[in-house]
Amino acid sequence: MSLFDASPLGSVPLAGKTPEDAKRPLADRMRPETLDQYAGQEHILGPGKPLRRQIEQDRLTSIILWGPPGVGKTTLAQIVARMTKSEFLPFSAVLSGIKEIKTVMADAERLRKLGRRTILFVDEIHRFNRAQQDAFLPYVERGDIVLIGATTENPSFEVNAALLSRSKVYMLRALTNEEIVELLRRALPMVNATAPDAILEQIAEASNGDARSAYNTLEVVAAASPGGAITEQTLLDSLGRKVLLYDKTGEEHYNLISALHKSVRSSDVDAALYWLARMLESGEDRMYIARRVVRIAIEDIGLADPRALEQCMAMQQAVHFLGMPEGDLALAQAVIYLAIAPKSDAGYQALGKVLQEVRTGRAEPVPMHLRNAPTRAMKSWGYGEGYQHAHQFEDAVNEMECLPESLAGRRWYFPTQRGIEKRIRERLDELRARRGQAATETDRPKA
């Protein structure tokens, strides 16, 4: 028996009036059947946009739909299948393996020979390993299937290069509050409820751009509302706490810490606190945040304010000692301190340049005058000869060159004119001048 039934959309339930309709989840009952009913994604589905033209001209190739939960990836795939009169087969990356893939592909190949096209919809395609993803390649190449993959993760990281090169990636955006409010208005008759726009706006805000979440909330609130009239109190009782989009191992994890780091670097204290709060509310590991904040102190403040690192190490101890929620205040305090502190990456840049020199240049021997001479033989060989003990000179400043001869005079550290580093720069210029090693302006980067 074929894995496909005779209908163009296989066994996938779509919106429609059936006796069992009222028992289906609201999100499924409200699933649109045409592009005109589809909400959002105007950047790819608006009139004249590339994906819409592909669908309307029936020239669809394999695509990857990348976007957050509840924005309509599955629905869009079903609409595509309907409009292109294709067989539609949903396939779960969670439940299926290579054996199931091969079975489905064999059916798809037979259907192609009969002139019938198959759209294989793979939900959560990022959960397939490389071998499983590779199993699709020959069938995509031959045109046995049109593959539509859906993923919440960045395809650049989660979909192998061979499959990615044969597919067009379309990025779907989280729905706006206005778009979700309009969807909720349409859904009210389906749950026999009434609600003012202010209530719908609160549901939309709490859904965080996820239409499925908004529908689920509306369904719960409507069921809890006597007579179907949704009130503010019923909403508060049912809504609970907004769940923020977050994945501690996924892209959003890195996006948020990047936003925090760059806000601190830009001295935008309010933005830095906002991104910190987003991570805290999403349940991020506090010690992970603490480690990253310590890194910011080293990388972006450095010696412009040496106390920044001290503050951050104290913060790390406080977070470890106090735990949640008291330790969150220490994180906030450190982030505020770093955001308003003078900035310098001179130390970061200097180390990077020195490491580059070490990795690409010759490993020069240590100059003889810098070597210890613990034995008479070593002294006779010239170890330590010419060494100038700094404390025997005025202000403990000598004129001895400590770099190998081939690198003599090279400079890598150039302090900025900001914060404490301005004083460090003045002191360094004084030391270099006294040692006859003043940096030229061509050597020194612009502050």
pLDDT at 157: 76
380-406 pLDDT tens trace: 888 888 888 888 778 887 788 878 888
Q: Give CA torsion, residues 96, 102, 108, 111, to 10 deg.
A: -140
Looking at residue 314, what is its pLDDT? Answer: 94
Q: What is the pLDDT of residue 93?
A: 63
Q: Is the dihedral of CA 246, 250, 251, 253 positive or negative?
A: positive
pLDDT value, residue 442: 41
Give per-residue burial for 104-143: e unless 16+ CB within 10 Å, then b.
bbebbbebbeeeebbbbbbbbbbbbeeebbebbeebbeee
* Beta pairing partners, 66: 151, 171
The DSSP secondary structure of 42-70, one letter per residue, reads HHHHSTT-HHHHHHHTT----EEEE--TT
Query: What are residue 308's DSSP bridge partners?
Result: none
Q: What pLDDT was estimated at residue 313?
A: 95
Distance CA 81, CA 89 (A): 9
User: In angstroms, how far is the first alpha carbon of the chain from the final one?
Assistant: 74
Helices (H), 125-196: 130-134, 137-142, 155-158, 161-165, 177-187
d(CA 409, CA 401): 8
Residue located via tokens 């360094």? 428
Dist CA 273 CA 279 (whole Å):
10
Nearest to 294 by CA among 242, 252, 330, 342: 330
Q: Would you state the structure tokens that stand for residue 330, as one six-digit string?
A: 């220490």
Q: What is the mean pLDDT of the chain?
A: 81
pLDDT, residue 137, reads 80
Given this model, what pLDDT does residue 441 score? 43
Give the other-Cβ count within 10 Å of 300's Cβ.
21
Going by the DSSP 8-state scheme, the letter that residue 390 receives in this structure is G
Query: What are the beta bridge partners of residue 98?
Result: none
Q: Which residues contact 93 (CB under 8 A, 6 or more apart)?
A: 122, 123, 124, 125, 126, 127, 128, 132
| pLDDT computed for residue 9 by the predictor | 44
Q: Which residues pair with 148 in a beta bridge?
A: 63, 121
Taking the C-alpha atoms of residue 254 and residue 292, their distance in angstroms, rounded to an integer, is 11
Helix (H) or strand (E) holding 89: strand 87-92
Q: What pLDDT, on a 0 to 100 scale, did the predictor assign at position 246?
A: 53
Task: List residues bridging with 59 in a β-sheet.
Answer: none
Which residues of the chain fall below pLDDT 50?
Answer: 1-17, 19, 438-442, 447
Helix, strand, coil percentages (3-state) for the chain, rounded to 5, are: 55, 5, 40
**pTM check: above 0.85:** no
Strands 87-92 and 63-66: unpaired
Question: What is the tens place of the pLDDT at every residue in 71-101?
Answer: 888 899 888 888 888 878 777 766 566 667 7
Compute how many other C-beta atoms are within 10 angstroms of the C-beta atom of residue 247: 12
**Residue 147 host element (H or E):** strand 145-151
What six digits make up the tokens of 255?
A: 């996006």
CA distance 54 to 395: 77
Neighbours of 430 (CB within 10 A): 13
pLDDT digits (tens, 9 = 90+) for 408-438: 878 888 888 888 888 888 888 888 787 775 4
CB 22, CB 8: distance < 8 Å = no
> What strand order describes the sheet that includes 145-151?
87-92, 118-123, 145-151, 63-66, 168-171
For residues 265 and 422, give the distance between their C-alpha atoms in angstroms, rounded to a whole number.
18
